[in-house]
């Protein structure tokens, strides 16, 4: 290989590059920003995950297994009885009509103050199995775990239906993640940018036939204070009925280790009663008032196991990876539970020739590109858990451009798209190609587009390092 005198060319080259960037940047800068489609990986379900439960039986087995695991390990459990009451969900009617008068009293219930009071009446009055409505156990408190979680799993015969999902939707522009599909992103206001992804948890919703025994129940007496303080005078409730039009148990567990994360019982209570209000003359002339109200109550368990998670600030990246430029030092992002000084964390590098890691999680990369695994092991009161991240020592890709952003081809026509990653010194320069609709145009691994049938589609390139995406609108005539 012929040797080049780099120093001789360095300054002219730098100046030329700067001039090209400056002039080119102004001209095409706007265009390339428009075509920066974000930097998120494509939809890739993790094959290592356990399958979702398909039947009520499988769902109950999954829940029972997760509860048994929690009872043995005695993790931290936060328990909250919570209520949301919407004033629009209460109605007052009377046999003798006069709707206007009763509108006034409906207004009483739909005020923020009344809603707060009705929520509070529930929250403060109830707990479960002798525990307060809000309760938190310590790690290792097996007795209280048993009180809180023992016996909460429903019998199979009590389940009307079961649904499981591990889908979520991510805004490809800003990364906002939701468990339901969305059109406009709440965060960046972009429409149509939601892409379907997988969660690393499975969420199961069981519809139950009846309210579980331990679930706190609503009663007419809870309305006492409110009714009396708002001018009803004394009254006698009769013909009280209580029904539960919706009782659900929603639980979410970690697909990698089967650990329970949340368990929520949700119940709607419909309460109806006749109120005799003889002590208030202006009300009594209309006869008995019929009260009909709907409460939304829930009991939530948040279960936290001791854990350590590396690089969790980037949940959109598949696997756990980070990149450090040769010779540089960078901190591994991590979080752990419990989040206190009692935990001990030990850091290790699988190949000290490639990189080393210090006791605070700072990775120091060697001079040459390579990869190594960094593992952190957390120990806390007899618990031990660990997590790893693959660290690449390399010059990262920062941007991806295509030579064309619009393509028009006749059926059968071909065009070779070229992708260019920057900076030019990037260690991994390869890209993968995708066609949004292969019935209109296909693209091969070298970026050669072949027009198949008339229509419009998008061809996009994805950098193997960093998942930068660039797309080319393709029209086939
Ligand atoms: Zn967004």
Strands (E), 277-320: 289-304, 307-310
- Other CB atoms within a 10 A radius of the CB of residue 344 amount to 10
Same fold, 307-393 and 397-477: yes
End-to-end CA gap in the chain: 48
Find the 202 Cα to ligand 1 centroid distance in Å: 24
Find out whether 164 and 202 touch, Cβ atoms under 8 Å.
yes
Residue 36 or residue 378, greater confidence: 378
Helix (H, G, I), strand (E, B) or coil at 107: helix
Residue 148 or residue 342, greater confidence: 148
Using 50, 70 and 90 to split pLDDT, how confident is the model at 233?
A: low
Q: What is the pLDDT at residue 327?
A: 93
**Would you give the DSSP letter of residue 265?**
E
Find the 40 Cα to ligand 1 centroid distance in Å: 12
Q: What is the mean pLDDT of residues 375-383?
A: 90
Q: What is the mean pLDDT of residues 42-64?
A: 78
Q: What is the pLDDT at residue 280?
A: 66
Residue spans of the domains in the chain: they are 56-304, 307-393, 397-477
Find out whether 176 and 192 touch, Cβ atoms under 8 Å.
no
Find the 191 Cα to ligand 1 centroid distance in Å: 8
Q: What percent of the chain shows pLDDT beyond 70? A: 78
User: Per residue in 294-314, pLDDT tens?
Assistant: 888 889 999 999 888 887 644
Find the 45 Cα to ligand 1 centroid distance in Å: 22
Find the 173 Cα to ligand 1 centroid distance in Å: 5
Find the 176 Cα to ligand 1 centroid distance in Å: 5
Find the 34 Cα to ligand 1 centroid distance in Å: 15
User: Per residue in 352-364, pLDDT tens?
Assistant: 999 999 999 999 9
Ramachandran quadrant class, 245 (left: phi over 0; alpha: psi -120 to 50; beta: rest) = alpha
Find the 177 Cα to ligand 1 centroid distance in Å: 9
Using 50, 70 and 90 to split pLDDT, how confident is the model at 410?
A: very high
Of the ranges 105-109, 131-135, 389-393, which is most confident? Answer: 389-393
Using 50, 70 and 90 to split pLDDT, how confident is the model at 461?
A: very high
State pTM to two decimals.
0.69
pLDDT beyond 50 at 21: no
Find out whether 163 and 208 touch, Cβ atoms under 8 Å.
no
* β-pair partners for 422: 399
pLDDT beyond 80 at 477: yes
Find the 291 Cα to ligand 1 centroid distance in Å: 44
Q: What is the pLDDT at residue 455?
A: 95
Which of the four CATH numbers 3.30.420.40, 2.60.40.1080, 3.90.79.10, 3.40.190.10 does domain 307-393 have? Answer: 2.60.40.1080
Q: What is the mean pLDDT of residues 143-149?
A: 91
Of 331, 334, 297, 330, nearest to 314 by C-alpha is 334
Distance of alpha carbon 341 from alpha carbon 472, whole angstroms? 51
Find the 298 Cα to ligand 1 centroid distance in Å: 31
Which of the four CATH numbers 3.20.20.210, 2.60.40.1080, 3.40.630.30, 3.40.50.1240 does domain 397-477 have? Answer: 2.60.40.1080
Find the 22 Cα to ligand 1 centroid distance in Å: 30
Find the 414 Cα to ligand 1 centroid distance in Å: 34
pLDDT beyond 50 at 345: yes
Find the 193 Cα to ligand 1 centroid distance in Å: 7
* β-pair partners for 178: 169
Q: What is the mean pLDDT of residues 223-252?
A: 78
**Would you give the DSSP letter of residue 319?**
S
């Amino acid at each position: 290989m012929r040797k080049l005198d780099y120093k001789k060319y360095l300054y002219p080259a730098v100046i030329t590059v700067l001039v090209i960037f400056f002039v080119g940047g102004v001209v095409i800068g706007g265009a390339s920003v428009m075509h920066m489609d974000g930097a998120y990986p494509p939809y890739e379900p993790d094959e290592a995950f356990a399958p979702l439960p398909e039947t009520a039986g499988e769902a109950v087995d999954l829940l029972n297994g997760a509860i048994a695991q929690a009872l043995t390990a005695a993790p931290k459990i936060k328990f909250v009885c919570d209520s949301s009451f919407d004033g629009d969900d209460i109605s007052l009617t009377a046999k003798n009509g006069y709707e206007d008068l009763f509108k006034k009293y409906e207004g009483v219930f739909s005020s923020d103050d009344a809603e707060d009071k009705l929520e509070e009446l529930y929250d403060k009055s109830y707990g479960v199995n002798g525990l307060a409505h809000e309760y938190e156990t310590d790690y290792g408190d097996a007795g209280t775990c048993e009180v809180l979680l023992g016996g909460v799993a429903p019998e199979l015969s009590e389940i009307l239906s079961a649904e499981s999902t591990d889908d979520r939707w991510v805004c490809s522009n800003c990364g906002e993640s939701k468990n339901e599909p969305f059109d406009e992103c709440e965060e960046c206001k972009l429409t149509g940018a939601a892409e379907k992804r997988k969660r690393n948890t499975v969420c199961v919703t069981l519809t139950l036939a009846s309210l579980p025994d331990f679930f706190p129940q609503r009663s007419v007496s809870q309305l006492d204070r409110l009714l009396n303080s708002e001018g009803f005078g004394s009254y006698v409730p009769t013909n009280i009925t209580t029904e539960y039009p919706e009782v659900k148990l929603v639980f979410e567990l970690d697909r990698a280790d089967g650990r329970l994360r949340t368990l929520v019982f949700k119940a709607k209570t419909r309460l109806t009663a006749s109120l005799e209000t003889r002590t208030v003359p202006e009300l009594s002339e209309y006869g008995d008032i019929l009260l009909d109200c709907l409460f939304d109550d829930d009991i939530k368990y948040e279960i936290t196991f001791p854990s350590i998670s590396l690089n969790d600030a980037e949940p959109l990246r598949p696997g756990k990876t980070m990149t450090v430029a040769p010779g540089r030092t960078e901190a591994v992002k991590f979080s752990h539970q419990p989040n206190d000084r009692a935990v001990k964390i030990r850091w290790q590098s699988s190949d000290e020739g490639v990189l080393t890691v210090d006791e605070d999680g700072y990775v120091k990369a060697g001079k040459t590109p390579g990869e190594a695994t960094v593992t952190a092991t957390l120990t806390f009161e007899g618990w031990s858990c660990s997590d790893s991240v693959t660290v690449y020592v390399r010059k990262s890709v920062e941007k991806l451009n295509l030579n064309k952003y619009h393509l028009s081809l006749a059926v059968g026509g071909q065009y070779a798209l070229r992708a260019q990653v920057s900076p030019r010194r990037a260690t991994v320069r390869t890209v993968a190609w995708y066609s949004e609709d292969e019935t209109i145009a296909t693209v091969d691994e070298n970026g050669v587009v072949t027009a198949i049938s008339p229509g419009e589609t998008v061809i996009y390139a994805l950098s193997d390092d960093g998942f930068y995406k660039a797309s080319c609108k393709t029209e086939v005539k």
